[in-house]
Amino acid sequence: MNCTQCGAPLAPGDAFCGSCGAPAAQASAPQPAPTAPPMAPPMAPPMAPPVGMYMVQRFVDPRTGAPLAEWWQRALALIIDLLVIAIPTLTAFFLLLFAGTTTSVDVFGYTTSHTGGGFVVLALLCPFLIWFGYFVLMTGSKRGQTVGKMALGIAVSDESGSGSIGIGRAAGRYGMIALMELVGIVLLINYLSPLWDPRRQAWHDHVVRSVVITVR
């Protein structure tokens, strides 16, 4: 303690200040040093969302809750399917042209070849018939999968989630694509439309009420 009159230090038990004689009752205890206010506990950093959470929310069917295929999966599956049918398509095309071609030698020894009109028509129709038959039969099956879709783990399903769309609706689905091929820009927009559609449906999906879902 210190004397309030002269500031001299006082010993414990002193009744008067030894320097100025002031009563010790008027002395004041030394003021404690100011202490820093208690620090608030650090705020916990915001929890990061689980990996893939946004993707799951983004690609879930808002009506049925089924996981929807992403656009790149559909595109890659289509490329695989076109490669799968390329070999039989080209083989049938050239076989038909060869079968319908006749060769003759004129009086001057020149060789000429001629392909019958019917075989030319068949050769031109062959790629479409193979493409159409392949996609309709595979998509309309119980699994709803082509070879490409099997590889990517996706399948065509009824938009209600009840299963396959069947052969008839599969024929309508790819019939719409065939009509859109007559105007290239329309077909391009159709293939891009799942990018902004809330259920990731292309136009041909809307026509036959189908969705493309992930199955693994």
At 99-157, the pLDDT tens digits run: 766 565 555 555 555 555 566 677 778 888 889 999 999 999 999 999 999 999 999 99
Token pair listed for 96: 């038909």
Ranges 14-23, 121-130, 150-159, 177-186: which has the least confidence: 14-23
Query: Exposure of 17 by Cβ count < 10 A (0-12 exposed, 13-18 middle, 19+ buried)?
Result: buried
Distance CA 55, CA 5 (A): 78
Question: What is the model's pTM?
Answer: 0.64
> What ranges do the domains of the chain cover?
71-214
Q: How far is CA 185 from CA 173, 188, 195, in A?
A: 18, 5, 16
- Tell me which amino acid residue 199 is: R
User: 90 falls in which pLDDT band (50, 70, 90)?
Assistant: confident
